Amino acid sequence: MIRLGSTNALFFRANLALSMVSVALQTVLLVTVWRAVYSGHGQVAGINEADAVSYAVIAMLLWHIALPWQLSSIPDRVREGTVATDLIRPIGVVGQSLLQAVGATVGAIPGVMVGLAVAFAFGGLEPPASTGALGGFLLTAALGWSIAAMLNIAVSMVAFWTTDTRGPFYIYRAVASFASGALIPLWFMPTWLRPLLDALPFGLQVFAPLQLWHGQEPIGRLWAVLATQLAWLAAAAAIVALVSWRALRKVVINGG
């Protein structure tokens, strides 16, 4: 099933090549834009140019993995009507979707490599502050990815209730991209917005891991971040369980 996910991502070679080109292009654009925005400014919000550029690149790559173009295969399977049989399989729709998310991430690795290489070539990558910082980054980034994968599945289950999923997906994408710090580091956000952003799980997916990378201490340090992430992961799993239970009932009532 993992293979299935990566096969889907890899199967279409055009898409693989395109996504590599796309990541490379975005990396170049990010590096250029942030350098240009910074020109003439030493530090903004306590962050210097090199850190901001490096942040932007890694954040984009994290986001590339965490929020793929296709949130999950559930909408497709609902449309094709195969989901009714999937629901009763032992591994279940959620399990399959999760494994596919893993597969898709594996499939996205070539793109991430290309992005890192391009950023490195442009001198846009800063190393992590310390070995401990790198460890913290990897740990929190992995947990952040899990939260994102869960939320993606939860949101994609909207497809059980509506045929046109674009609206809800749009909202989710917009809010998540903005609030995660994938577009702009949360350092630059106006202070009145920060409490709202901190109350959402998205900052834990991109901003918090990157703070650790840059040797900054997120609120309450590493352990607090991990604890919050685990809490959000549990919450997201509970949402998925609840939604899929409702969805199952819905499919059963409608006869698939």
Partner 1 sequence: MADLLRDFRILLRVAWLTELEHKANFFISVIGALAFNAGQLLFIGVLLNAFGSIAGWTPAEVMVLFGIRMASHSMYAFFFRRVIDVDLVVHTGEFDRYLLRPTSPFLQLLTRRFNLQQFGDVIVAAAILAVALPKASITWHPLLALWLVIAIGAGGMLEGALQLARGALAFRLQNTQSLTALIDTVFGTYGNFPLQIFGTLGSILFTVVLPLAFVGWIPAAIVTGRTDSLWFPTWLAWLSPAVGVAGMAAAIFFFTRQSRHYSSPGS
Partner 2 sequence: MIEVVELVKEFRKPQPTTGRLAGVRQLWAPRRTVRAVDQVGFAVERGEIVGYLGANGAGKSTTIKMLTGIVVPTSGTVTVNGLVPWANRKKHAYNIGVVFGQKTQLWFDLPLRVSLETIRDLYRIGAADYVSRIDEFDEVLQIKDFMDTPIRSLSLGQRMRGDLAGAMLHRPQVLYLDEPTVGLDVVAKQALRDFIAEQNRVHSTTVMITTHDMDDIEQLCRRIVLIDRGRVVYDGDLSSLKRRYLPFREVVITPGANADTAYIGAKHADRLENADGTISLRFDPERTSAAAVIAQAASTADIADLHVNEPKLEDVVRLIYAEAER
The least CB distance from residue 84 to partner 2, in Å, is 17
The greatest distance separating any two alpha carbons of the chain, rounded to the nearest whole angstrom, comes to 64
Tokens of 159: 């497809």
Q: Which does residue 7 bind out of partner 2, partner 1, none, counting CB within 5 to 8 angstroms by kind?
A: partner 2
**What number of other Cβ atoms are within 10 A of residue 237's Cβ?**
16
Q: Decide if residue 44 touches partner 1 (CB under 8 A).
A: yes
The pattern of x and - marking residues 187 through 226 that bind partner 2 according to CB under 8 A reads ----------------------------------------
> In whole angstroms, how far apart are CA 115 and each of 17, 21, 22, 197?
13, 9, 9, 27
State the Cα–Cα distance between residues 68 and 61, nearest whole angstrom.
Answer: 11
Q: Which does residue 32 bind out of partner 2, partner 1, none, counting CB within 5 to 8 angstroms by kind?
A: partner 1
State the Cα–Cα distance between residues 244 and 79, nearest whole angstrom.
Answer: 16
State the Cα–Cα distance between residues 173 and 177, nearest whole angstrom.
Answer: 6
Q: Which does residue 41 bind out of partner 2, partner 1, none, counting CB within 5 to 8 angstroms by kind?
A: partner 1
Q: Decide if residue 11 touches partner 2 (CB under 8 A).
A: yes
Residue among 4, 22, 134, 248 that touches partner 1 (CB under 8 A): 22
Tokens of 166: 């674009």
The least CB distance from residue 112 to partner 2, in Å, is 17
Q: Decide if residue 99 touches partner 2 (CB under 8 A).
A: no
Q: Decide if residue 248 touches partner 2 (CB under 8 A).
A: no
Query: Which stretches of 39-129 are DSSP H helices?
Result: 49-66, 74-80, 83-88, 92-121
Q: Decide if residue 166 touches partner 2 (CB under 8 A).
A: no
State the Cα–Cα distance between residues 179 and 177, nearest whole angstrom.
Answer: 6
Q: Binding residues for partner 1, per CB under 8 A? A: 11-12, 14-15, 18-19, 22, 25-26, 29, 32-33, 36-38, 41, 44-45, 69-70, 162-164, 166-171, 173-175, 177-178, 183-184, 188-190
